[in-house]
Amino acid sequence: MTTVQQWGRRESIIWPPREFYYTYGAIFLAIVATGFLVYVHFEFPLSSLQQYYLPYYFRTETAGLTHPTSLYQLVYVSDGRSRSRIALDADVRPGETPQLSGNPLPFVLSAAALTQGFRYLAREPMRPYQNKGLHTWLAHWIYADTSPSGLFATSLYCGILALILQLPFSIRQDIRRRKELRYGRRLKVQASRASSGRCSIG
């Protein structure tokens, strides 16, 4: 019986690849930083009405590509008699307005709306709207003609910049780590012992 002798080192697959540890860490930190900046931009620069309509703003843009109409619930201001219209930014301020059904609205009537005679703030029942038409209306009257992607463009750019700034360091560290895993680490102690041994022999 003949025994076949295998030469060389048997390679094994390790997942996730340990040699790209620092690069993966840089990508993760950039994603976390981007998410944090998006959250900060959502909580502070955006008004309460812009926060409320943000899911609708994204939805009307994407759903409008395949569906002409969808169901939405817009917010109205009313004087309780004959006047009623869709609420605008100047009509509300942060707060909480209970509703007959569903969750409370995250805003209340502003002083300007009260001065104009409005007394009620209500979410309408679900009704169909043209996606493209509603998107155009939201873009102009609620978001000052800023596109959905433009609302968080600064946060995304900052996240990309954070990744770019980290890459030179992380790639350099990963290259060094990969060499150490493949060829082993050269220790200064071993080098000094070897040199001292050669001197004693001489």
Cα–Cα distance for residue pair 179/52, rounded to 1 Å: 52
Residue 190 confidence (pLDDT)? 53
Cα–Cα distance for residue pair 189/179, rounded to 1 Å: 19
Please name which of 165, 132, 146 lies closest in space to residue 64, comparing C-alpha atoms. 132
Residue 56 confidence (pLDDT)? 95
Residue 17 confidence (pLDDT)? 52
Cα–Cα distance for residue pair 175/177, rounded to 1 Å: 5
Rg of the chain, C-alpha, whole Å = 31
Residue 184 confidence (pLDDT)? 61
Between the alpha carbon of residue 66 and those of residues 16, 91, 148, the distances in Å are: 39, 33, 18
The tens place of each residue's pLDDT in the chain, 202 residues long, gives 555 555 555 555 444 455 677 788 778 877 887 778 767 766 677 899 999 999 999 999 988 778 899 999 999 999 988 899 999 999 999 999 999 888 999 999 999 999 999 999 999 999 999 999 999 999 999 999 999 888 877 777 777 887 788 788 877 877 777 776 666 655 554 555 555 555 555 5
Two tokens, residue 115: 């001065």
In this structure, the chain runs to a length of: 202
Name the pTM for this structure.
0.66
Residue 165 confidence (pLDDT)? 81
Residue 35 confidence (pLDDT)? 79
Q: What residues does 84 pair with on adjacent strands?
A: 78
Two tokens, residue 140: 């102009």
Residue 87 confidence (pLDDT)? 95
